[in-house]
Amino acid sequence: MVGPTNPAIVNIAERLWGVPVPSAPTEPVLRAEARVDLDAIRANVQRLRAAAPTAEVMAVVKAEGYGHGLLPSALAAKDAGASWLGVAILDEALALRDSGVEGRILAWLAAPGERWSDAIRADIDVSVSSTWALDEVSSAAETTGRPARVHLKVDTGLGRNGATPNDWPALVQSAAKAQADGTIDLAGLWSHLAYADEPRHPTITAQVAVFRQALVVAEDAGLDPEVRHLANSAATLTLPEAHFDLVRPGIAVYGVSPGVAVGTPEQLGLTPAMTLAARFVAVKRVPAGQGVSYGHQYVTTAETTLGLVPLGYADGIPRNATNVGPVLAAGRRRTIAGRVCMDQFVLDLDGDDVAAGDEVLLFGPGTNGEPTAEDWALATGTIGYEIVTRIGARVPRVYVGESG
């Protein structure tokens, strides 16, 4: 077992135990890594800005930058001209502030008893969808002695967060009173699309119409928001009528397509930013008829070589990638052989010359023949968002293009 590395802990342990305590290696062994190209993130943000030239861009960096890293992704996006950052939960926004990130940040998913006062003190915009949240925000503003910057969210048809059209007028009236009382500044009015990844879906037109009507209701109540925003990645790229004052691209910032019907990253002018790589930790010859991994869901048909890859479902590799997950190894596309385990999976290398330490590419931009996140999504019945976001914390992120 590797001992503690904090010098204070080492010193205390040596005094208590009377023996030296070994320190951890300063350079960890990289069995696997997620390489994140920050220049790709910058290029993608520039592409998104070009797609919505009349609107500001909010780069969404929630969920650790969709698995790419919260702070590096945020800084790269701002380098490329994103004037806002968006996160789901307040802790993410506060972490950005604690790291010295300036400018506008919106956090939109709150629970009763949220740290509203901390948000106000940190100059973070917050979203409100109901009167209970507005009351809590207003109370926090009174406590801190400064108004909260609030975005009111209307549910235009997604059926998720946001005030329904029936509840919207009451929320708007309450917000107008709070603004008159000096507890809030209305920074935005917003909503979210249900089918933007299917650009011709009839719900899109319907939601835009409901949103426009919600804006009229707010205007009639005397509210004049700084920004109105509706568009996610897909809408930013394909629906100019949904751009309004601000667009909120998320997955496209990282070069992953928001949907098959929208187009491939290449068609959309996006560059995938993450490459997931590993190294074989074992290679061995086995005979025909050898069962592979738990349950022997794969059995070799001839004498062959098996390679062990140290990534599993604890690292975010889908367990249902069993016998279908694509990789690039020894210059060829391969498919996972047998069940994906918690920490590892196996490849049948067809007798090719491979050694422990050789690299395996699970996904990346696809420029070297490796699969893409979209290929993994297709193989496992999910979306590219999930493939990149689920890569776990024990897979180190290695950044390139950091100079900006």
Q: What are 362-389's pLDDT values in tens digits?
A: 999 999 999 999 999 999 999 999 999 9
Helices assigned H by DSSP within 182-329: 202-220, 233-238, 265-268
| Of 62, 66, 78, 254, catalytic | 62
Q: Is 78 a catalytic residue?
A: no
pLDDT for the residue numbered 30 = 81
Mean pLDDT rounded to a whole number for the chain: 94
Query: Which long-range contacts link 168-175 to residues 24+ away (Cβ below 8 Å)?
Result: 168/214, 168/217, 169/217, 169/221, 170/131, 171/128, 171/129, 171/130, 171/131, 171/134, 172/217, 172/218, 172/221, 172/223, 173/221, 174/131, 174/134, 175/128, 175/134, 175/150, 175/221, 175/223
CB 31 within 8 A of CB 310: yes
What percentage of the chain reaches a pLDDT higher than 70? 92
Q: What is the pLDDT of residues 270-325, one digit of tens each?
A: 999 999 999 999 999 999 999 999 999 999 999 999 999 999 999 999 999 999 99
The count of residues in the chain is 404
Residue pLDDT, tens place only, 330-347: 999 999 999 999 999 999
Summarize pLDDT for 78-127 with one digit per residue, the tens: 999 999 999 999 999 999 999 999 999 999 999 999 999 999 999 999 99
Share of the chain above pLDDT 90, in %: 92
pTM, to two decimals:
0.91
Provide mean pLDDT across the span 249-278: 97
How far apart, in whole angstroms, are the C-alpha atoms of residue 254 and residue 42? Answer: 9
* Residue 154 DSSP code: B
- The answer to whether 284 is a known catalytic residue is no
Q: Which of 66, 177, 294, 313 is flagged as catalytic?
A: 294
- Once rounded to an integer, what is the mean pLDDT over residues 150-161? 97
Which of 220, 256, 241 is CA-nearest to residue 47? 256
pLDDT of 384:
97
Rounded to a whole number of angstroms, the distance between the first and last alpha carbons of the chain is 39
Instruction: Give pLDDT, residue 327.
Output: 98
Please give the pLDDT value at position 272: 98
Q: How confident is the model at residue 13 (pLDDT cuts 50, 70, 90)?
A: very low
Average pLDDT rounded to a whole number, residues 6-15: 44
Comparing C-alpha atoms, which of 164, 167, 128, 171 is closest to residue 148? 128
Q: What was the pLDDT predicted at 29?
A: 78
pLDDT value at 21 more than 60 = no
pLDDT in the model for residue 256: 98
Mean pLDDT of 348-354: 94
